[in-house]
Amino acid sequence: MTAIAGWKRCALYGLAAACIASQAGFAHSARVGPDAPGAPDVEGQAAKPADDTDRVMHPWVVPPPNWAAEAYFTNLRDGITLESPFVARFGLSMRGIVPAGQTAGSAGHHHLLIDQPLPLDFRKPLPFSEKYVHFGKGQMEALVDLPPGTYSLRLVLADQGHIPYFVYSKPLKVTVARHNKGVPPEQVLGAPRVEILSPAHRKTVALPMRMQLHASGFNISPAALRLSGTGHFRVMLERRGQKTELIALEGGQTEVWLNPPKGEYTARVSLVDNTAPDRVLESARPVAFTVR
């Protein structure tokens, strides 16, 4: 399969010279309604549901149980100790991702805040600095290269002008125990690929179920924008003796909640080129699961 060129990016972190090499990616997210005035107590604010133009249209698709739009890390947990450089993967509920400078419904792009609280004023754009790392290409992950120490990491979703939505992650405390100098980024990031993060292979799931997807080394964007070098996820669910269900995440969504009939399924996920709908950029390893 074809990898997207130019999938590395680097940002320096002050005197510590920590570097983030982020994989290029465009993705579409559903926007959180109008910009709200900032307030110190933003932790209690909730994002509004996306409008109809941002929803995935299929009878099995349902909203998340908590109806919450949020960003989160799919591979890091609070209090984790690890070695640097490491990969931070970004997840997003009820939203898609879109590159900076582009608009598509309620889409946005990720920002990684390092040792920074949420902004007090959600009407102002996020600054560009070593503590506010922008992923304006719509990336789904980053290679984080920090010196030993303890850090607070948080994701914030923002619009085409870097103005934040009320869509963010809880802060995570991570401790870097060791810094491995001179490690090539590709050695940590691995080859460009598409993955089904959940459900797990050969597992039985309860309903509603969340299907989480990930793209490494590729750009995610809404299909309608037809941006070169970008793609969107396409999900196919197979049951023996039944027709295959096709769910296209054309708004750039990277996860979907489902309420399918009981049975045994095989999920197949592909990343489809946004400029050539018949061209598949990469496919994930199929996952078999059971709905009881």
CATH number of 193-291: 2.60.40.10
Class of domain 12-32+68-189: mainly beta
Rounded distance, CA 161 to CA 10, Å? 21
Contacts of 23 (CB under 8 A, 6+ apart): 7, 8, 139, 140, 141, 142, 143, 189, 192, 216, 217, 218
Question: 176 exposed, middle or buried (CB, 10 Å; 0-12, 13-18, 19+)?
Answer: buried
How confident is the prediction along the chain (292 residues), in pLDDT tens digits per residue? Answer: 333 333 333 332 232 333 443 333 322 232 222 233 333 344 444 454 455 546 788 999 999 999 999 999 999 999 999 999 999 999 999 999 999 999 998 999 999 999 999 998 989 999 988 899 999 898 999 999 999 999 999 999 999 898 998 999 999 999 999 999 999 999 999 999 999 999 999 999 999 999 999 999 998 999 999 999 999 999 999 999 999 999 999 999 999 999 999 999 999 999 999 999 999 999 999 999 999 9
- Specify the domain boundaries for CATH 2.60.40.10 within the chain: 193-291
